[in-house]
């Protein structure tokens, strides 16, 4: 059964546009990863300054392989860049879930 990873990013209002532009510039970074199923960046509408980064994976092993491979490499190259911009998020928490049930629209 698929697993879902939700990265909860605390983003001050003045950094929202920066965060969204950074995600847009890396839009294809995860799409070709083995086991990757879905990505969404969810913008808060009211009551919070938390963005949700939703990814869905075939299994935990696929997610771990991505974090130890392409994601780790990208973050290391960013860290080695002396002109690296400061993070747009002021905090992050990772939530993990297994998909217990799902539904999709039916065409009648």
| Tens digits of residue pLDDT in 27-55 | 677 888 999 999 999 999 999 999 999 99
Q: How many domains does the chain have?
A: 1
For residue 9, is it within any domain?
Answer: yes
Residue 107 included in any domain: no
Residue 64: give the domain boundaries: 3-98
The H or E element spanning position 16 is helix 16-25
The yes-or-no verdict on residue 2 having pLDDT over 80 is yes
Residue 99: per-residue pLDDT: 95
Q: How many CB atoms lie within 10 A of CB 24?
A: 9
Domain for residue 10, yes or no? yes
Is residue 93 included in any domain, yes or no?
yes
DSSP codes joined into one string, 46-101: SS--EEEEEEEESSHHHHHHHHHTHHHHHHHHHHH-TTPPPPS-SEEEEEEEE---
Query: Where is average pLDDT lowest: 22-26, 33-37, 84-88, 97-101?
Result: 84-88
CATH number of the domain within which 26 lies: 3.30.70.100
Give domain status of residue 12, yes or no.
yes
The predicted structure's pLDDT at residue 52 = 97
Residue corresponding to tokens 């065409």 = 107
pLDDT digits (tens, 9 = 90+) for 66-96: 999 867 655 555 555 566 678 899 899 999 9
Residue 105 lies in a domain: no
d(CA 47, CA 22): 23
Query: Is the four-CA dihedral 83, 21, 91, 7 of positive or negative sign?
Result: negative
């Amino acid at each position: 059964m698929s697993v879902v990873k939700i990265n909860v990013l605390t983003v001050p209002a003045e950094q929202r546009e920066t965060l969204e532009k950074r995600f847009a510039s890396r839009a294809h970074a995860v799409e070709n990863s083995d086991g990757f199923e879905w990505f969404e960046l969810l913008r808060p509408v009211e009551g919070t300054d938390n963005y949700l980064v939703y990814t869905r994976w075939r299994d935990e092993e696929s997610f771990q392989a991505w974090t130890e491979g392409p994601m780790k490499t990208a973050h290391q190259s960013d860290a080695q860049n002396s002109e690296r911009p400061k993070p747009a998020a002021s905090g992050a928490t990772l939530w993990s879930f297994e998909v217990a049930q799902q539904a999709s629209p039916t065409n009648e």
